[in-house]
Amino acid sequence: MARKTKEDSQRTRDLILDAAEHVIYERGMSLTTMANIADAANVSRGAVYGHYKGKVELAIAMAERAIHTAPSLERGPEEPALVYLKRYCLHEVHSYIDASSLQRVLFILYVRIDDTPELVSIRERWEQKRAAVIAQCLQAAIQEGSLAADSDVALYTLYVQAQIEGIFSILFFNHDTTIDKWDIAERLCSMGLERLTLPARP
């Protein structure tokens, strides 16, 4: 019986977190109430408060669940660093665009949180993790000889991050259905990374 109760509790928790994703995605943090989330999850308000003390605690659990369960992108054992970096950039853009739990949470963290400090902190950790992966790729590219030994890794990391966010903006806000957005994204990504290999201007 205890095992069934634990499973039921987890099922209710998942319903609440799923509902929170959709409600906060649509309404934003400031306009979302615990009652809204309870209604969307089809559970009582007491059930919501039984799992979470308040909206911020619930939103933290929602965000951490999506981020911790997000699929990672592994680098192949013989894969050149810049080839992997291109795949990683496109993987990140897909994370922001393709409908999923992670996509909804990232949209919330960047657009819908109204500067809630605890959620800003989660967003910053996400960005720091992304920056670390990019920097590691760039260091590996230097070791492989595909980037100059004196490449400014910190500056290049910011450049690649800006490229990811720029491509995301082009895809997300462009509603032209006659173009192949992902073909454009891949070409932009290739062009951007090729710039890193050009000789620095004097």
- pLDDT tens profile 77-104: 999 999 999 999 999 999 998 999 999 9
Question: Which CATH number is correct for 2-67, 3.40.120.10, 3.30.56.10, 2.60.40.10, 1.10.10.60?
Answer: 1.10.10.60
Q: Which residues make up the CATH 1.10.357.10 domain(s) of the chain? A: 71-196
End-to-end CA distance of the chain: 74
Residues of the chain with CATH 1.10.10.60: 2-67
Mean per-residue pLDDT for 126-134?
Answer: 95
Cβ neighbours of residue 93 closer than 8 Å, sequence gap 6 or more: 164, 167, 168, 171, 185, 189
Q: Which CATH superfamily is domain 71-196 in?
A: Tetracycline Repressor, domain 2 (1.10.357.10)
pLDDT digits (tens, 9 = 90+) for 53-73: 999 999 999 999 999 999 889
Over the range 15-37, which residues count as b (16 or more CB within 10 Å of their CB) and which as e?
bbbbbbbebbbeeebeebebebb
Average confidence (pLDDT) over 35-49:
96
